[in-house]
Structure 1
């Protein structure tokens, strides 16, 4: 039974949720009533969101489906204000209270939308022939705060759509800087606190990100390919003749154990799922950067970007008889000052964001609408992020409404899906800031005999690296 029915309501949590709903409504600067009721319809629907017209049939959505489409087409959301509100909420943290943020890209597949601009080749097995590993769509880069322990909850903080002309690494660096600034203003991070740890997967150029964010109080932890070659710090030039001092030391080939020196630290841990876990790390290693690709426009010689390498091996993986080792890169080159066991456990928490993506897509309908314009898709993405945030804030206000075939869960282990089942009760207590609809008559519709020209076709774009790309998403600030 819900704790709301029993009357034992954590007033502080309920007040935080109510304030967020009011702030969300105030951030909707046009078509606010229709947009807000659309979020409530997503939260109060009985099952997964399968289509937009079905949401207009919900009791909390007091307007017709035409108003819903009009809100997505012509509504406006002050994204900067919503981002500040998300950064000011109570965020999940680990046992050491350090703030860890995961960054990852999730695609919105639009393979048949030839009239939709801004599409890219997103990394996902294409349904066309089952061979290609990309599909045309809109990629969204999402940032979420990670908690401790095994959970499917994350604190969503930001989302940025990558465009065809965007430098993905420059966009990521700008997103991290802006997010760090909002966390500072919200009091989530102060001078003297442990540096914010950003956890990435293998699709990011983490070495270049380390260089771009070298002046920020952040640390990067990400997976790198196992065929890369690193180098030790350069020593003095040998021989009696004069000449230029070497820039790179001996090679450290990740795939060749003969080139591996004695590790700086070694951690052996017994894990309940992976068996014996061995983590070794080497500090002060750097790659040999060439003047090509993203480093072509770099002034002077390519820099020496040092970091710490972490080699992780496990005894077994669920469903995998022969697990392969994992190589991690940490932007702090001082390997002796790290807790290696804590770092690889934090990297495993990055997969909590995958559970969030799955819930957003399969239950809340993140990629269900077939919208034509990317600006409409941006509004829908932010509505879904706001809906998920309300579920996270309400998780301590509800009980376990389980199905007869489901196992009971303690209050601190409720999944987002089970919290959503009880959310209509929370919504009845909170009420809604949206105004009731005004009585109106149906419009005249399209005038007879009117025809329109075919919509323009847009090719699928590709990434182009640009020298100056400080804020590629500035025009999309107000959706």
Structure 2
């Protein structure tokens, strides 16, 4: 019964976070959850029995409705979040694009990263990039607790946007009682493409730890020693080089772990502490830095596996951890937490392929923001409905325990759960069609908007906008 109460309370909170066009927006969320099969178009959703309004009211709600995003974010932070076995709160941050290559009339588009599925060549596509933060569980799962979503604009600095998103999320977690003084620091897990060294510097005053993947051609430095020779002069700032691609520059690791994994075989992890990169002012984030450039130290983790799924050739994996003291690490635990970051990819795939995140052809990015937040609320309702769902499997599917139901299987029976929890939306009022456009009236062509550009590689040490897989 507690699951039913929590789901009903969140639905009421969601309805209260819709100050304008609340009934139409709320029924649109129910139509997404109760549709039979993947969402293929918005007009098809208006034919669902739970959507008691026409398709015109649905488009009007997306165009002129309003969502109190601040209130909805607080409601998401107050829910019970997935945690690891040690109750550690781990949050993955990644970007997923909404491709809009032919939408010349849509503003605020960027060149978003998109991998080519034919030959593996990395490409970009015009669209709206959304950066999502989600809490991770302790084991292999297709569930995450989505906490926030931010659209990155053409004039935004991706690193600064990420730092601000993490600060705001921490403040909401404190307000919701999810994190208190004395609790373990919140761990944020990031993939390559983020300037994790600069993020470490920007968030140095916050109770966070950062764990992310870095390129294998980076060059780090050991702490500087004393100046050699009898001549006076400035003390060195950087010690000996640590070239990730050259094992001859690697000293003995501070910690080393060897274990076996059911998917990767033999796994060897090693870590070195007190390493830092040599920063330069010509790098984007440090151009306007006042005073001497800082020394940002961290711990490097090197991971080597025996094999990869699909008989792919294994490649060494390098991770950066923002805590410089390598002796305080559980190196085996760090790389396992990083693997949990890929659970967010399952969430992206479900949002796009099943709930239809990128299906609508909306013109304005504000409409896209409303649709994205409605789907975040829909995904959250499925997570809360897990204890109430039954395993409505297809004849060719394997049965699953109630605790291992996937989001797709929970959605199959959500129409039954909705009848139990009810709906706060008001029934539509009787009306008649409007007069429509006057005869002979014309409209001016919609303005065209060029695709915006991210900061160039010269201005940004990362490879543009942080990337996320489709």
TM-score class, shorter = over 0.9
Q: 1:384 aligns with which of 356, 364, 375?
A: 375
The aligned counterpart of 1:3 is none
CA contact 2:113–2:122 (8 Å) conserved in 1: no
Partner residue, 1:96: 86
- Give the one of 354, 357, 362 matched to 1:366: 357
TM-score, normalised with respect to structure 1: 0.94
* Counterpart in the other structure of 1:294: 285
Q: Is this contact kept in 2: 1:118–1:163, CA < 8 A?
A: yes
The number of residues matched between the two structures is: 456
Distance 1:418 1:235 in 2: 59
Q: Could you tell me how far 1:132 is from its partner in structure 2?
A: 5.9
Tell whether the 8 Å contact from 1:152 to 1:355 is kept in structure 2 after alignment.
yes
1:53 and 2:43 are equivalent in the alignment: yes
Q: Which residue of 1 aligns with 2:152?
A: 162
The partner residue of 1:190 within 161, 170, 180 is: 180
**What is the CA distance between 1:320 and its match in structure 2?**
3.3
Following TM superposition, by how much is the alpha carbon of 1:321 offset from its aligned partner in structure 2, in angstroms? 3.7
For 1:13-61, what per-residue CA distance to the aligned partner results, in whole angstroms no more than 9, with x for missing partners?
Answer: 1111111000000000100000000000000001000000000000000
Structure 2 residue 416 is matched with structure 1 residue 425: yes
Out of 70, 75, 87, the position equivalent to 2:65 is 75
**Equivalent-residue separation in structure 2 for 1:321 and 1:73 (angstroms):** 47
Q: Secondary structure at the match of 2:346?
A: helix
2:388 is aligned with 1:404 = no
Give the deviation of 1:253 after TM superposition. 0.1
CA distance in 2, matches of 1:326, 1:128: 24
Answer whether contact 2:188 2:210 (CA < 8 A) is retained.
Answer: yes
**Aligned pair partner of 1:232 in 222, 230, 233:** 222
Matching residue of 1:471? none
1:242-284 Cα shifts (integer Å, max 9, x gaps): 0000000000000000000110000111111111110000000
Q: Quick one: distance in 2 between partners of 1:133 and 1:31?
A: 39
Give the match's secondary structure for 2:387.
coil
In structure 1, how many angstroms separate the alpha carbons of the residues matched to 2:117 and 2:320? Answer: 33
Shift of 1:168: 0.4
TM-score w.r.t. length of structure 2:
0.96
Aligned partners of 2:148, 2:429: CA distance in 1, in Å?
34
Verify: 1:344 aligned to 2:339, yes or no.
no
Partner of 2:451: 460
Q: Give SS of 1:390's match.
A: helix
Corresponding residue for residue 8 of structure 1: none
What are the ranges of 5 or more consecutive residues in structure 2 without an aligned counterpart?
A: 460-470
Q: Distance in 2 between matches of 1:135 and 1:333?
A: 38
Q: Does the CA contact (< 8 Å) of 2:298 and 2:321 recur in 1?
A: yes
Q: Which residue of 2 aligns with 1:472?
A: none
For the 8 Å contact 1:126–1:135, the answer to whether it is kept is no
Corresponding residue of 2:6: 16
- Runs (4+) of structure 1 exceeding 2 A deviation are 125-132
Runs of 5+ consecutive residues of structure 1 not aligned to the other structure: 1-10, 468-479
Give distance in 1, aligned partners of 2:224 and 2:50.
66
Please give the per-residue CA displacement for 1:143-179, whole angstroms capped at 9, x wherever unaligned.
0000011100000000000000000000000000000
Residues 311-355 of structure 1, C-alpha deviations (whole Å, 9 max, x = no match) = 000011101342001000000001100111111000000000000
CA distance in 1 between counterparts of 2:341 and 2:52 reads 39
Cα distance change on mapping 1:350 and 1:457 into 2, 3 Å: same
Partners of 1:13 and 1:453 in 2: CA distance: 52
- Matched residue of 2:183: which SS? coil
- Which digits, 9 at most, give the CA deviation of each residue in 1:425-469, with x for residues without a partner? 11000100000000000011111111111110000001249x9xx
| Alpha-carbon spacing, 1:453–1:23, altered in 2? closer, same or farther (3 Å) | same
Matches for 1:11-410 after TM superposition, within 5 Å: 11-125=1-115, 133-292=123-282, 293-410=284-401
- Report the RMSD for the aligned CA atoms in angstroms: 1.4
- Could you say what secondary structure the match of 1:87 adopts? helix
